[in-house]
Amino acid sequence: MKKYYENKVAVVTGGASGIGLALAETMLSCGARQVVLADFNDENLKREIARLNRDYPGKALGLNCDVTKEGDVREMIRRAAKFGGSIDILINNAGAGLAGIFDKLTNEDWEKAFALNFFGALYGIRAVLPIMRKQGGGHIVDIISGIAFSPMALQTMYAATKAALNGLTLALRYELWDENIRVTSATPGTTATQIWKAGGGEPPPDAQSPEQSARTILAGVARNERLVLGDGGDVSGAKGCFNPDYAAEVDDYLLNVARKRRSGEWVV
| Per-residue pLDDT, 266 | 86
Residue 257 lies inside a defined structural domain of this protein? no
CB atoms within 10 A of CB 256: 11
Amino acid at 248: A
Residue 60 lies inside a defined structural domain of this protein? yes
* Structural Rg of the chain based on CA atoms: 18
Helical axes 156-176 vs 120-135, angle rounded to 10°: 20
Confidence of residue 239 (pLDDT cuts 50, 70, 90): very high
CATH assignment of the domain containing 121: 3.40.50.720
Number of domains the chain contains: 1
How far apart CA 109 and CA 92 sit, in angstroms, is: 21
Q: Give the mean pLDDT of the chain.
A: 95
Catalytic residue, candidates 4, 5, 158, 246: 158
| Per-residue pLDDT, 202 | 72
Residue 70 lies inside a defined structural domain of this protein? yes
- Residue 158 falls in the annotated catalytic set: yes
pLDDT tens string 71-120: 999 999 999 999 999 999 999 999 999 999 999 999 999 999 999 999 99
CB atoms within 10 A of CB 38: 33
Which residue range forms the structural domain that includes residue 124?
A: 2-233
Extract the runs of DSSP E, i.e. beta strands, from the chain: 9-13, 34-39, 60-64, 89-92, 138-143, 181-186, 227-228
pLDDT tens string 37-50: 999 999 999 999 99
Confidence of residue 251 (pLDDT cuts 50, 70, 90): very high
Over residues 31-39, mean pLDDT: 98
Burial of 252 (0-12, 13-18, 19+ CB in 10 A): exposed
Beta bridge partners of 140: 90, 183
pLDDT tens string 156-214: 999 999 999 999 999 999 999 999 999 999 999 998 877 655 555 677 777 899 999 99
Beta bridge partners of 135: none
| Per-residue pLDDT, 191 | 87
Residue 85: φ, ψ to 5°: 80, -10
Residue 154 lies inside a defined structural domain of this protein? yes
Residue 125 has pLDDT above 90, yes or no: yes
Q: pTM value?
A: 0.94
How far apart CA 179 and CA 260 sit, in angstroms, is: 48
Per DSSP, 100 falls in state B
> How many residues are recorded in the chain?
268
How far apart CA 169 and CA 92 sit, in angstroms, is: 11
| Per-residue pLDDT, 246 | 93
SS3 content of the chain, % helix, strand, coil (to 5): 55, 15, 30
Residue 46 lies inside a defined structural domain of this protein? yes
Residue 254 lies inside a defined structural domain of this protein? no
Express as a percent the part of the chain with pLDDT over 70. 97
Cα atoms in the Cβ-side hemisphere of radius 13 Å centred on 110 = 10
Phi-psi region of 154 (alpha: psi -120 to 50; beta: other; left: phi over 0): left
Helical axes 107-114 vs 156-176, angle rounded to 10°: 40
Residue 245 lies inside a defined structural domain of this protein? no
Residue 243 lies inside a defined structural domain of this protein? no
User: CA 147, 151, 156 angle in degrees (round to 5)?
Assistant: 100
Tell me the CA distances in angstroms from 243 to 74, 161, 174, 213, one per residue in order: 39, 21, 24, 26
How far apart CA 189 and CA 136 sit, in angstroms, is: 32
How far apart CA 31 and CA 226 sit, in angstroms, is: 24
